[in-house]
Structure 1
């Protein structure tokens, strides 16, 4: 696996004062999240380091990012149902995050009417434009990390575009598009911390992950395989990834494990923390949809082909606008591989 070092010397977002505003806003908006959490699907991601754990989930799924349908522009029952919604309900309903800086978040300087924006949000607008002819024909639903799969399976959303890693375990519950971003799990800790990465320096440390996240699945699998120091405490889990950063700031945990791309954005929010060590997995984000929505999966895959090829207003432009400040100007390491469409039905 080719691991790259994400930049630790990141530009801050106004220091601790601004971060307090972000956290307060996130706490307020969290009250608006759907309260229904009675059903918790076991939709966790698989092990990412060389995707060994994912391969163990089933030999037929050694490369989950390739298990998707070939692109097509044809309409089908799922797309027709979306288009047949009447009046103000004629929108694409999408599960997103609203507090992941530069991915899906509300600008704290935008007031109470601040719109959602970020890399994932740009992609959502592109999908809505293709399917409904209007990039703003979207109903955004903010959902916690641990509610992404239940929201799809229960029909509360048409899709989830929320830094969601494609994994074999999740493919049992939902369908994914081809990858639209490459990342990997990484450790985030205070700059003054003796933690140096995903290694023995985590001994005796309290590590936070989000419920239902790939990071949580990776650490759980590592614990079962005795690949973590026995004294590493991984019991702290939270509904949303930003909650881990808040706990880190409050000193309630010593480190956070999450996708390196998200960790870089969190380090940009708080200049007192930094990425530690190299990414220790290779993961890919995909658009998640209902397993039976074949026409929608094919359509999204076709949209992604166009999105990557559109250098003026597509993937490249969105990366430059939102992510170049935290991940570097060269997007090569973040681009997904040429897609393969190995799922037949």
Structure 2
């Protein structure tokens, strides 16, 4: 699949269109509560509850995952046991992150597409034999973990960074993308990066995001100017761009990969300074879904060799550059043993 480039998405008016589209499609993608029968959750009958060990020091959360396996287990069996229209992989995604998971209004039907969506379809193809056997559920940034824990989705593929705190609540696959936090601000702004120029500036982050956690910690530790205002949080990361365009905040802090896509949507903003963290996106699943974690890791081994680069070229090369070396995660390590 080749990306169809979007035109004329800059400015507040266009973003209003995005918000309207997001609302309308959210209505088309209703939240389904788990009924405890395995049809909408990840577990289903017979899935054992358990406690899984995580490296106590947790210096490298991206390595805290299970080794790959192509074997089925109770979680995958429950997914495959769904019948009729319900025989689909249920995945939490974004639908308004340009080039990651979004609906292009210029395309007939406005189907979901993007880098994350390509990966979802590959997972569905391997597990269910049909790349279209997916029920997409649009979820806001701050609902990614609850959606997994409550069984509303089998997994989340939504530019979700692997962190030690999140490993307490969900399991992750090996990394499928590398990025880092960056500052996004108007081109005319005096802000130069994640530095002293953020003093007396209002900064927007998404609630529950790694950016929000980073800023909160840095402000307490004195690594961020004491006068920086980080009180503005939103449910969805894209809402920060709208706040920036409306002049309600001075800057946005988010993953550089997402920020670059937002800068492509609005030519009046740009990335300020280099990335100041190193982070890795992973596929998030229930903590007890060991067989699904192992299967996704097996799929990722094959996907990195055949599919990842093509998807990067289609969707991200226009915003992140043709050289994908800095975005490709390192060879995975599987330190979690149980």
1:48-72 CA deviation, whole Å, 9 max, x = no partner?
xxxxxxxxx9743110000000000
For 1:175, which of 171, 177, 191 is the aligned residue? 171
Alignment of 1:109-128 (within 5 A): 109-110=106-107, 113-128=109-124
**CA distance in structure 1 between the aligned counterparts of 2:30 and 2:141, rounded to whole angstroms:** 12
1:136 equivalent to 2:132? Answer: yes
**CA distance in structure 1 between the aligned counterparts of 2:172 and 2:224, rounded to whole angstroms:** 30
1:318 equivalent to 2:318? Answer: no
For 2:64, which of 64, 67, 71 is the aligned residue? 67
TM norm structure 2? 0.89
Q: CA RMSD in A?
A: 1.9
**Structure 1 match to 2:279:** 283
**CA distance in structure 2 between the aligned counterparts of 1:250 and 1:30, rounded to whole angstroms:** 24
1:102 equivalent to 2:102? Answer: no
Residue pair 1:284, 1:336 contacting (<8 A) in 2 also: yes
For 1:251, which of 243, 247, 251 is the aligned residue? 247
**CA distance in structure 2 between the aligned counterparts of 1:35 and 1:195, rounded to whole angstroms:** 40
**Structure 2 match to 1:227:** 223
1:213-237 CA deviation, whole Å, 9 max, x = no partner?
0000101111121211111000000
Over 3 Å counting, the alpha-carbon distance change for 1:33 and 1:139 in structure 2 is closer
**CA distance in structure 2 between the aligned counterparts of 1:233 and 1:189, rounded to whole angstroms:** 15
Residue pair 1:185, 1:257 contacting (<8 A) in 2 also: yes
**CA distance in structure 1 between the aligned counterparts of 2:113 and 2:28, rounded to whole angstroms:** 18
For 2:270, which of 270, 274, 277 is the aligned residue? 274
Residue pair 1:95, 1:143 contacting (<8 A) in 2 also: yes
**Structure 2 match to 1:186:** 182
Deviates more, 1:18-27 or 1:179-188: 18-27
Alignment of 1:85-96 (within 5 A): 85-96=82-93
**CA distance in structure 2 between the aligned counterparts of 1:317 and 1:324, rounded to whole angstroms:** 10
Over 3 Å counting, the alpha-carbon distance change for 1:279 and 1:138 in structure 2 is same
Residue pair 2:29, 2:136 contacting (<8 A) in 1 also: no
**CA distance in structure 1 between the aligned counterparts of 2:309 and 2:305, rounded to whole angstroms:** 9
**Structure 1 match to 2:50:** none
**CA distance in structure 2 between the aligned counterparts of 1:28 and 1:279, rounded to whole angstroms:** 34
**CA distance in structure 2 between the aligned counterparts of 1:35 and 1:75, rounded to whole angstroms:** 27
1:274-323 CA deviation, whole Å, 9 max, x = no partner?
0000000000000000000000000000000000111xxx0000000000
Over 3 Å counting, the alpha-carbon distance change for 1:213 and 1:233 in structure 2 is same
SS in 2 for 1:169: helix
Question: Any unmatched runs of 5+ in structure 1?
Answer: 1-10, 37-56
SS in 1 for 2:57: helix
1:160 equivalent to 2:156? Answer: yes
Question: Any unmatched runs of 5+ in structure 2?
Answer: 1-5, 33-53
SS in 1 for 2:169: coil
For 1:263, which of 255, 259, 263 is the aligned residue? 259
Instruction: Report how far residue 22 of structure 1 moved.
Output: 2.6
**Structure 2 match to 1:332:** 325
**CA distance in structure 2 between the aligned counterparts of 1:83 and 1:31, rounded to whole angstroms:** 27
Residue pair 1:206, 1:236 contacting (<8 A) in 2 also: yes
SS in 2 for 1:61: coil
**CA distance in structure 1 between the aligned counterparts of 2:72 and 2:200, rounded to whole angstroms:** 54
SS in 2 for 1:247: helix
SS in 2 for 1:165: coil
1:83 equivalent to 2:80? Answer: yes
**Structure 2 match to 1:41:** none
TM norm structure 1? 0.87
Instruction: Report how far residue 34 of structure 1 moved.
Output: 5.9
Residue pair 1:34, 1:143 contacting (<8 A) in 2 also: no
1:105-145 CA deviation, whole Å, 9 max, x = no partner?
0012135x311000000000000000000000000000000
